[in-house]
Structure 1
Amino acid sequence: MNLARHSISATEPLVLYDVRFDSDCQIFTASSPEGFAVYRVLPLDLLKKREVSGGILSSVVPMHCSSILFLVGGGRDPRYPPNKVIFWNEALGKEVAELEFREKVRGLACRRGWLAVALRRRVVAFEIGDSIKRYGEWDTYENTRGVIAIATGAYSTLLAAPARQPGHVQLIHLPPCPPPVPVGPPPSIPPRQPPPATKHPHSVIVAHNTAITTLAVTPSGRLLATTSVRGTLIRVWDTATGKQVRELRRGSDQAEIYGVAFRPDEAEICVWSDKGTIHVFSLAAGAGLSNRQSKLSSLTSFIPIPKYFESEWSYARFRIPTQSAHISLTQQAAARDANPDLAEEEKCTVGWIEAPTIPQTTAPAPSPATDYQLIALTYTGGWYRLALPNKKPSSVPAGSAQTNITSSGSVRSGTARPPSVSSVAGGGRADKGKGVSRDSDRKEGRDCTLLEFRRFGSWDGWG
């Protein structure tokens, strides 16, 4: 019997240049070579798509749930000059304004009525209303990553940016953020505005010895999280006193931390990196499971031990499954060499949501119970809804696919087909040569539960 020889070509990988949540994690945006799209976070739903020809959009930033999007061109063939920020009104379907600078735009952060632009060595803030007004400008250290963070809660004022020295963070206070416009009838008792701060004594925090790579603030602006190029520690600061309140350890080996996000009630924090793993830490006593510590930490009052053994480790984690076991590493490398703009396989962004829990009894509840969950979006079009280990599973929208996957990627049950996984002995997987923390299995806490897995992007017909 003669069998013809057939070759199997690799599936064209999905290209997403930018994926990000709005400040309330109600919607998210994604940009691809075809344009950009706006999705509802839960349930996952494509709200708007816009085809954009003539180049690449490196950033599509939503201003809360309004129709205003901030667009920045980038890549090898930028749609707009990289030194411009384009104001796009999706309700009108056109550009309505632009900001032009003398250099490349590195990063953006926004809240209601305000936009902050990070440049290589300065940060500029603008007030956005009937007109655009330049509010102020502050010098920074070399900020090629465009690191910047802004508090988005009602009456918050904080804008955090790198200071003039590496590892330092400057705290800038803008006018109070206006509260959101209420939907429906006004409340019987209007929310009380806190008295304005008369003094902000701490303007600079000495956070790390090396350059800052990530900044994150709570919606109120009360807490600030920082990471450095080492990528092993996450430090949490009280912005009112300038004091460090927690030091959390992601791992013992170096990593590039992609982002940090506070839970809206400031009780927990999550961090994700190029290791493909999401770590969750507790910040408040009694908020759930406690962070893990070495058994030797109890000896600190008796004998001097290295600070490493005093570290707090995440109480929960989730590893993003690898995408393409059916595609050889050679094919993946060839595809990336042919198109340098391809997103990294495990790069993701993570946000917190509140989702309804499953009723435990048949009796009607006076009000629907909710718990906090995580949504992870990968740059290859994966949408993951995760439950924390100290939380009960939440309901899944009718008709959606549910898949339970362990953090190492093995399928337990479900109807949806998850991404295939390249694993190694012991349930792990190759780590792109970055090295795996030798004590990660011993230090890490319980795994998050994958409640739901979906696809977005080209599966919606626009990418």
Structure 2
Amino acid sequence: MTTVSSPSSPWQNPDSTPASDSDPTSPPHHRDRGDDAESLDSFSSMTLNAEDFNLPDRIPDSNRYLNTQTHTSPLESNSPTTTPPPSLLHLSFNQDHACFAVGTARGFLILNCDPFREIFRRDFARGVAVVEMLFRCNILALVGGGPDPQYPPNKVMIWDDHQSRCIGELSFRSEVRSVRLRRDRIVVVLEQKIFVYNFVDLKLMHQIETFANPKGLCAVSQGAGSMVLVCPGLQKGQVRIEHYASKRTKFVLAHDSRIACFALTQDGSLLATASSKGTLVRIFNTVDGTLRQEVVRRGADRAEIYSLAFSSNAEWLAVSSDKGTVHVFGLKVNSGVKDTPRIASNVTRPTSPSSSLSLFKGVLPKYFSSEWSVAQFRLVEGTQYIVAFGHQKNTVVILGMDGSFYRCQFDPVNGGEMSQLEYHNCLKSPSVF
């Protein structure tokens, strides 16, 4: 296997000259280990096309489907679990939200959202804390984690599921917090630094200093064309926007308190941010940094925002928090439509009642009305959930760190409580690990 070390990695060959921090375009050092070098040569010459490298539609005979029978939600039943599920370390959607990855204390599995089913799983002896997919490609990025990690937490392992082994790795001096993939880039997030690599040859393209980022917050655009990257800036409440096509960097002071969560539209034109206070979500234009809209989470108490997600057409925004409710907001700006900041008005879309501006005097900008969510779905409070919009119209997929999977539907006209279409727990099947 061929390994690649970061410029500051203590694991690189001492005889080599490391790339300088002052020259972010310097390539990292490559170490060859005999015959295994052929693996990365093959990887480097691959065209990472999701259409060419699809995950299997069916699980091999050695694996079994998860039980896809619709179960009763834990909100409706308190039946005990016969065997404790494995410790869940990671949840993430792939780039188009068609699949999701689960990392546990004993490996990882990949599941399809609609219909809900296990695509494949890999049983390891130890834990995997990051599983980053590349659409439905066979290449994944893995990072070990948990009390007994499968791989060192300071390494990103490039896993080829066709070969069922790692074909490359990236090493760093500190723990890897998260990884983001595009067809042309690998983005590795450390607590105070981000490295951007070319996917084909693992050449270091860019490195970014950030404010303390223990959550590994980072978002990259997935549309065709050059990448837009968003990460924490250099001070509390600030975000940094990198437009690689125009080689422009934009800093936006999005909030007074620390950034808790953010999300990009697929094309990278709009950015949603939430702070540690968790009462407001702000929508920015990434090109000029202007504030386009603000939405208000119901309830004036503080909340920890866990997840933000745009719909594919940027018409809706989903928000999850530690209060146990997923909200869907209607957006008045959308990707590719340029408008000007609105004058304050009590007139809103009929399905999204607006509260009086006087209630938030001194909090909201004068040109914004405070907009409540259109639809809500109640969950078990205290569990961390992530959200995405489903491929079927007006549907939301919700994943919980307790292994829960919900698919819900909202009424875009009348709003109100979402209806639950299905519920599963991906960790309760006896076939899982």
Instruction: Output the amino acid matched with 1:318.
Output: F
Q: 1:108 aligns with which of 161, 179, 185?
A: 179
- Is residue 258–residue 275 contact of structure 2 (8 Å, CA) maintained in 1? yes
Cα shift at 1:247: 1.1
Q: TM-score scaled by structure 1?
A: 0.68
- How far off its partner does 1:306 sit? 5.2
Q: Distance in 2 between matches of 1:221 and 1:135?
A: 19
Equivalences for residues 217-236 of structure 1 within 5 A: 217-236=264-283
Q: Where does residue 315 of structure 1 map in the other structure?
A: 374
Question: Could you list the per-position Cα deviations for residues 176-205 of structure 1 after superposition, in whole angstroms to 9, with x for gaps in the alignment?
Answer: xxxxxxxxxxxxxxxxxxxxx5x74x6111
Q: C-alpha displacement at 1:9, in angstroms?
A: 8.3
Q: CA deviation at 1:310?
A: 4.5
Judge conservation of contact 2:293–2:332 (CA < 8 Å) in 1. Answer: no
- Pair 1:349 & 2:425 matched: no
SS at match of 1:125: strand
User: Which residue of the partner structure matches residue 398 of structure 2?
Assistant: 376
| SS of corresponding position for 2:394 | strand
**Structure 1: how far apart are the matches of 2:153 and 2:401?**
21
TM-superposed CA distance for 1:351, in Å, is: 1.2
Query: Which amino acid is 1:158 matched to?
Result: V
Shift of 1:36: 0.8
For residues 132-188 of structure 1, the C-alpha deviation after alignment (integer angstroms, 9 at most, x for no partner) is 11111011111111111101111142100111111111111235xxxxxxxxxxxxx
Offset of residue 218 of structure 1: 0.3
Amino acid corresponding to residue 314 of structure 2 in structure 1: E
Instruction: Report the Cα distance in structure 2 between the residues aligned to 1:160 and 1:283, rounded to whole angstroms.
Output: 20
Is 1:46–1:460's contact at 8 Å kept on the other side of the alignment? no
Shift of 1:43: 0.2
Q: Of the candidates 227, 235, 239, which is equivalent to residue 157 of structure 1?
A: 227
| 8 Å Cα contact 2:292/2:333 also seen in 1 | no
Find the aligned partners of 1:447 and 1:389 in 2 and give their Cα distance: 8
Q: Which amino acid aligns with 1:206?
A: L
Q: 1:205 and 2:252 equivalent?
A: yes
Matched position secondary structure for 2:204: strand
- The answer as to whether partners of 2:131 and 2:142 remain within 8 angstroms in 1 is yes
Aligned equivalents of 1:276, 1:12: Cα separation in 2: 25
Q: Deviations over 1:288-328 (max 9, x none)?
A: 8643321x33x79xxx9454794211111101247xxxxxx
In the other structure, the counterpart of 1:329 is none
1:138 aligns with 2:208: yes
Preserved CA contact (<8 Å) 1:278 1:318: yes
Structure 1 distance, partners of 2:425, 2:96, is 22
Please, which of 254, 262, 284 is the counterpart of residue 310 of structure 2? Answer: 262
The amino acid of 1:260's aligned partner reads L
Cα deviation per residue 1:323-344 (whole Å; 9 max; x = unaligned)? Answer: xxxxxxxxxxxxxxxxxxxxxx
Residues 289 and 88 from structure 1, CA distance in 2 versus in 1: closer, same or farther, beyond 3 angstroms?
farther
SS of residue matched to 1:221: coil
- Aligned residue in 2 for 1:291: 352
CA RMSD of aligned residues (A): 2.5
- Tell me whether 1:59 sits opposite 2:130 in the alignment: yes
On the 8 A contact 1:261/1:350 being kept in 2, the answer is yes
1:455 Cα deviation from its structure 2 partner? 2.7
Does the CA contact (< 8 Å) of 1:13 and 1:380 recur in 2?
Answer: no
Q: Do 2:191 and 2:212's aligned partners in 1 also have CA atoms closer than 8 Å?
A: yes
Contact 2:403 2:426 in 1 (8 A): yes
Question: Letter of the aligned partner of 2:404 in structure 1?
Answer: G
- Can you list the C-alpha shifts for 1:210-269, whole angstroms capped at 9, x where unaligned? 211112100010100111111111111001121000111113111111110000101110
Q: Which amino acid is the alignment partner of residue 120 of structure 1?
A: E
8 Å Cα contact 2:250-2:288 kept in structure 1? no
**Counterpart in the other structure of 1:437:** none
Q: Distance in 1 between matches of 2:294 and 2:80?
A: 47
Distance 1:36 1:209, change over 3 A: same
Aligned residues: 337
- Pair 1:317–1:133, CA change in 2 (3 A): same
Aligned-partner residue type, residue 259 of structure 2: I
Is the alpha carbon distance of 1:289 and 1:383 closer, same or farther for their aligned partners in structure 2, counting shifts above 3 Å?
farther
What does 1:171-182 align with in structure 2 at a 5 Å threshold? Answer: 171-174=241-244
Is structure 2 residue 414 aligned with structure 1 residue 388?
Answer: no
Give, in angstroms, the shift of residue 284 of structure 1.
2.9
- Distance in structure 1 (CA, Å) of the matches to 2:363 and 2:237: 20
Unaligned residue ranges in structure 1 (runs of 5+): 1-7, 176-196, 323-344, 356-370, 393-444
- State the Cα distance separating 1:390 from its structure 2 match: 2.4
After superposing the two structures, state which structure 1 stretch, 450-459 or 67-76, moved more: 450-459
Q: Does 1:22 align with 2:94?
A: yes
